[in-house]
Structure 1
Amino acid sequence: MNTISIKTYLNEFSGENYYGILIDGISLEECALKNSTTDITPGLASTFLNWLDDPLEREIVWERALPETYSKVNLPVLMCSEDIDLWCTVIVAEIETDDHYVYWNKFGLDVSDFEDTPEPIGTIVDWFPGNTLVFKRDEYENVLNAFKKYLHNDFTGKVYEEITN
């Protein structure tokens, strides 16, 4: 069983806080890329952040964030923090759920071919070797909910409150 949580990071350029995901106390980026054989520039950011300005990109991420029970989806989990969209470097996790757990079966680099819409994201993935991560469903949902509260229309900033562990 793995743990999933969030940590507040400080953006050195903007001076603003943002959330990152920790898997067993290790950053999601480090966890996802540890078995990658592809040269990927470090500094990827979570796709759950409210940084995605394109409504369709945001919809794709959140529709796939928690698939229906006993189904499987390819979820964009990390994106290039320079471009902040799904058109550059995107790391995908293959996820599925049951009544009690969420499984991230593997990570990979999205190499899908799309020109006008990001909907095909996750259809072609260069998968990395690795092990399945298993999270308690309620713990996973708590992490999603922490990000979701910053997606509401009444929230206009991009600064996240500090989390104390």
Structure 2
Amino acid sequence: MNKLSARMHRSRHARAPHPVLFVDETPLHEWIKGVVCDAGGVDSTDSLVPAQGWLLDEGDGEHAWKLLSPREDHSSTIVPMLVCPDDMDMSCTVAVVEQMADGQNIRWVRTGRALDVVNGIVTSVAWTAPSQTAVFSREEFGNAVAELRRLTDEVWK
């Protein structure tokens, strides 16, 4: 089982610390691998920032928060997790996870890059191979997301 937490952290392209999810003590933007690679195969996924909190469009931001909340068991959701810090919208680079609720666990089944976004919702994805995967207890996942939201609303902004 993986560990999920949220705390303040300064990403590579940020000027100050901001709320970040950590998977097994690794910032999400470093944990997700291979989503954004140049023609030479150099991975720059770690240059992205969290979608939750960084999206300029309030509607897109609320979609990102809502999609992060687990759905019914045995259903999967494509969740925007990281975006380009220059544009801070869903039109540039968006790293996603396929998230599945399964009993007492939340699984990140695979990671990828959004190819198309309609009204703030990712409609097609280029999945990364091999892809990062993780399994979290539902309780720990909920606590981490709640802490990410608290840090975003009360500490960072």
SS in 2 for 1:21: strand
Pick closer, same or farther for the CA change 1:65–1:23 going to 2, 3 Å.
same
Where does the alignment leave 5 or more consecutive residues of structure 2 unmatched? Answer: none
Q: Which residue of 2 aligns with 1:118?
A: 120
> Identity over the aligned pairs, expressed in percent?
25
Structure 1 segments of 4+ aligned residues over 3 angstroms from their partners: 10-16
Pick closer, same or farther for the CA change 1:18–1:151 going to 2, 3 Å.
closer
Q: Tell me the TM-score normalised to structure 2 length.
A: 0.81
Pick closer, same or farther for the CA change 1:112–1:140 going to 2, 3 Å.
same
Q: From 80, 83, 91, give the equivalent of 2:84.
A: 80
Q: How many residues align?
A: 150
Higher strand share: 2
Q: CA deviation at 1:113?
A: 5.5
Where does the alignment leave 5 or more consecutive residues of structure 1 unmatched? Answer: 160-165
| CA-based RMSD | 2.5
The answer to whether the Cα contact below 8 Å between 2:36 and 2:113 also exists between their aligned partners in 1 is no
The answer to whether the Cα contact below 8 Å between 1:37 and 1:128 also exists between their aligned partners in 2 is no
The answer to whether the Cα contact below 8 Å between 2:51 and 2:82 also exists between their aligned partners in 1 is yes
Higher helix share: 2
Pick closer, same or farther for the CA change 1:131–1:58 going to 2, 3 Å.
closer
Q: Tell me the TM-score normalised to structure 1 length.
A: 0.77
1:89 matches 2:93: yes
Aligned counterparts, 1:141-160, within 5 A:
141-149=142-150, 158-159=156-157
Pick closer, same or farther for the CA change 1:12–1:73 going to 2, 3 Å.
closer
Structure ID, larger Rg: 1
Q: Partners of 1:113 and 1:23 in 2: how far apart?
A: 26
C-alpha distance after superposition, 1:68-127 (max 9, x if no partner):
22111100011111211111110010001123110000000111154xx323x1x21110
Q: Which residue of 1 aligns with 2:139?
A: 138
Q: CA deviation at 1:6?
A: 2.1
1:53 matches 2:56: yes
Q: Partners of 1:56 and 1:79 in 2: how far apart?
A: 15
Give the stretch that moved more between structures: 59-68 or 97-106: 59-68
SS in 2 for 1:149: helix
1:109 matches 2:141: no
